[in-house]
């Protein structure tokens, strides 16, 4: 499975509260692309929603062997179905569990991430200065001097980029947006709630750990009560195979009990 749940994790974080916009069925007889392949909370998902645009498909077809293109298209079809099924169900779950971030949780996130950014900037400046000082040594071997010059150039570019970002943020006097903070906090609270209720493995993600082991029992339960239905048997088989695979770097079973931004800062936990 190709980077499956990294894509899912990133989609849940960035688009958790935004459902995909799907066109209403037309009065004319539906084409194969118009036919629904699933129904989620009463909303039909047409097969067309699972397919890349023509330009992307043509580009991929030209770059890949026929068998590789077929495998990639099949995987991407299942990934999009997973997104369109899981997203609305997670939004509904968050509503049922009253997981909306509090003002205190948002402030904790914004404060911690601002502190991280400042610390990273200081480390970058110190790293640049360390290399600059080493280059002043008269006994430095030529090979090491050449390598240091490359490293210093890269380090200075990083400092310059970070300085520009900090200046732009200061100019508009604006901390990390409430939208970003809300998405991050809500994602963590959602993943923690899923893991507490359904258990299963947790995998490391750069944007926050993900309770991938909880997705199978969660989806099975939601299917059983009729919140979603898969209408295409073959696609449904591939969907459940995808859910069961859940690859990734496993992490500690209590990794979701404390949000990463507090774990890194002062080890406090939001209850």
Residue 78 and residue 3 in contact, taking contact as beta carbons nearer than 8 Å: no
What's the pLDDT at 4?
54
Q: Is 8 helix (H, G, I), strand (E, B) or coil?
A: helix
What's the pLDDT at 113?
83
Nearest to 202, CA basis, from 147, 257, 163: 257
What's the pLDDT at 43?
96
How far apart, in whole angstroms, are the C-alpha atoms of residue 121 and residue 135? Answer: 22
Residue 200 and residue 216 in contact, taking contact as beta carbons nearer than 8 Å: yes
Residue 109 and residue 183 in contact, taking contact as beta carbons nearer than 8 Å: no
* Beta bridge partners of residue 40, listed in sequence order: 43, 228
Domain chopping of the chain, boundaries: 1-100+176-271, 103-171
pTM for the predicted model, two decimal places: 0.69
Mean pLDDT by runs of 10 across the 271 residues of the chain is 54 48 49 86 95 81 85 90 96 97 92 79 82 87 88 83 69 64 94 97 89 97 97 96 90 93 55 37
What's the pLDDT at 117?
75
């Amino acid at each position: 499975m190709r980077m499956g749940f990294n894509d899912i994790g990133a989609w849940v974080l960035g688009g958790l509260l935004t459902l995909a916009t799907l066109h209403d069925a037309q009065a004319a007889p539906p084409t194969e692309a118009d036919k629904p392949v699933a129904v989620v909370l009463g909303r039909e998902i047409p097969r067309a929603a699972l397919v890349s645009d023509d330009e992307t498909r043509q580009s991929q077809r030209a770059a890949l062997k026929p068998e590789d293109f077929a495998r990639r298209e099949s995987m991407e079809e299942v990934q999009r179905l997973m997104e369109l099924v899981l997203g609305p169900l997670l939004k509904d779950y968050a509503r049922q569990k009253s997981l909306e971030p509090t003002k205190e949780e948002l402030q904790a996130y914004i404060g911690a991430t601002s502190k991280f950014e400042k610390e990273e900037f200081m480390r970058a400046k110190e790293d640049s200065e360390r290399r600059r000082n080493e280059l002043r040594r008269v006994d430095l071997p030529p090979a090491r001097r050449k390598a240091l010059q490359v490293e210093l150039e890269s380090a200075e570019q990083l400092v310059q980029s970070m300085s520009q970002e900090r200046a732009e943020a200061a100019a508009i006097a604006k901390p990390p947006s409430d939208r970003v903070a809300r998405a991050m906090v809500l994602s963590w609270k959602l993943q923690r709630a899923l893991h507490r209720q359904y258990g299963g493995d947790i995998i490391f993600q750069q944007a926050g750990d993900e309770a991938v082991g909880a997705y199978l029992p969660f989806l099975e339960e939601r299917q059983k009560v009729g919140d979603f239905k898969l209408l295409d048997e073959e696609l449904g088989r591939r969907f459940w195979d995808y859910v069961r695979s859940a690859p990734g770097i496993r992490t500690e079973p209590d990794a979701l009990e404390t949000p990463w931004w507090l774990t890194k800062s002062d080890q406090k936990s939001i209850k």
